[in-house]
Amino acid sequence: MFQKSPGLRLLQGGRAYFPALIEAIDEAVAWVQFETYIFDVHGTGTGVAEALLRAAGRGVTVQVLVDGIGSEALAPEWQQKITDAGIQWCVYSPLGTGLGGLGLLMPNRWRRLHRKLCVIDQRIVFCGGINVLDDFYDPYYGELQAPRFDFAVAVTGPLAVEAADAAALLWWRVQAGYSARQSHLGTAWEKFRAAGYGGRTSAARLAGPAGAGHAVTTPGTKAALVLRDNLRNRNSIEKAYRRAIGKAHQEILIANAYFVPGGKLRRALIRAARRGVRVTLLLQGKYEYFMQYHAARPVYGALLKAGIEIHEYEASFLHAKVAVIDGHWATVGSSNLDPLSLLLAREANVVVEDKVFAGELREALCAAIDGHGRRLDPSAYSHRPLRQRVLDQLAYALMRLAIFVAGKRY
């Protein structure tokens, strides 16, 4: 449901996001709730970690939830600093001691925490695609020549209270699951009850640090927090996209890092293009991972045939998960348009109805397309080398097999 939001700020890349995030953490008086897929204490990530230490040092409750695959174990010195500061640090779905990469062979381990949320004092929430990872550094590729292309949004107002509820609920559910795995069944049951099983709950009930008050609703931009999980909100983000695409009259502009949309979403885009809507996609142009890079390309053919423009971003890694439709609807978040995000992972997007915000995001996307995008020629696509076509089909088949093994339809 859309809410009036008194404050909305688009943040492009780590250069805008991290200073705003650190400033907000430094202003925290009661409670910092932080969720991220990757927390890498390197470069800019060090500044975020130090801000959390400062907050804990002045008595702020700091809770950090990181993904067990995305985030490597902290160096011993950082583990000690975090423990000494009293930061509550938790790992979502760790693979387990001794399993290593073999843990990924189990389909239940594919359900990851991919959302990037930081809620401060139930007053401001940061949401987007940006991990705690330096823009010019990649754990696999080292130093980057140009920053990642990504976005986040900062929202103040009642949306922050909703985000705090969601973050608190997940925090305590993970805590309860950890207690159950350790056979502390009494503690686990208490935490499951505290986490709202059998009834609604609130952030204030779950953690309730002193001084964390609710935001006041004031007139402003309409925004909604859209969460995806494996319980009640399995299709929420995809439905938000399809609903907006179905209502489009003039333009659909999507930038997405890992783009392998399912049949319903593909058909929605094709129908929009056929009724005269200009559909433009800005997608990953640099090779990052085999599956994501090659599995995306077999779906391009039908889209290009329908007249959809596909531009590949080549300046650096594209990590954005954003869209603008008809100059007034926009979304910024963590969800890729691929089966991992839309079927398995926990994701969070903010959807906005506002011409000014949508216009700002559209301008940034058009600048990226004009300055760093390479338009994919339909003829060149259909005549790409045999080796590439084989790899594309192999990756697509493996992805479809993985979906089947996970018990999903896409």
- pLDDT by residue (tens digit) across 111-149? 899 999 999 999 999 999 999 999 999 988 999 999 999
Please give the DSSP secondary-structure letter assigned to residue 254.
Answer: E
Would you list the domain boundaries of the chain?
A: 3-206, 225-405
pLDDT value for 214: 30
Question: What gap in Å lies between CA 365 and CA 324, rounded to an integer?
Answer: 9
pLDDT value for 104: 60
Global pTM reads 0.89
pLDDT value for 116: 98
pLDDT value for 95: 79
Question: What gap in Å lies between CA 165 and CA 31, rounded to an integer?
Answer: 12
Contact 28, 55 (CB under 8 A): yes
- pLDDT by residue (tens digit) across 198-224? 334 444 444 433 333 333 233 456 899
- Residues labelled catalytic: 114, 116, 121, 319, 321, 326
For domain 225-405, the CATH class is: alpha beta
Sheet architecture: strand order including 278-284: 3-5, 221-228, 347-353, 329-333, 321-325, 251-256, 278-284, 309-313, 373-375
**Residue 40 token pair:** 């890498």
Does domain 3-206 match CATH 3.30.870.10? Answer: yes
Q: Give every residue of the chain whose pLDDT is below 50, as ranges.
A: 180, 184-185, 188-189, 191-192, 194-219
pLDDT value for 176: 74
The residue length of the chain stands at 410
Question: What gap in Å lies between CA 311 and CA 374, rounded to an integer?
Answer: 5
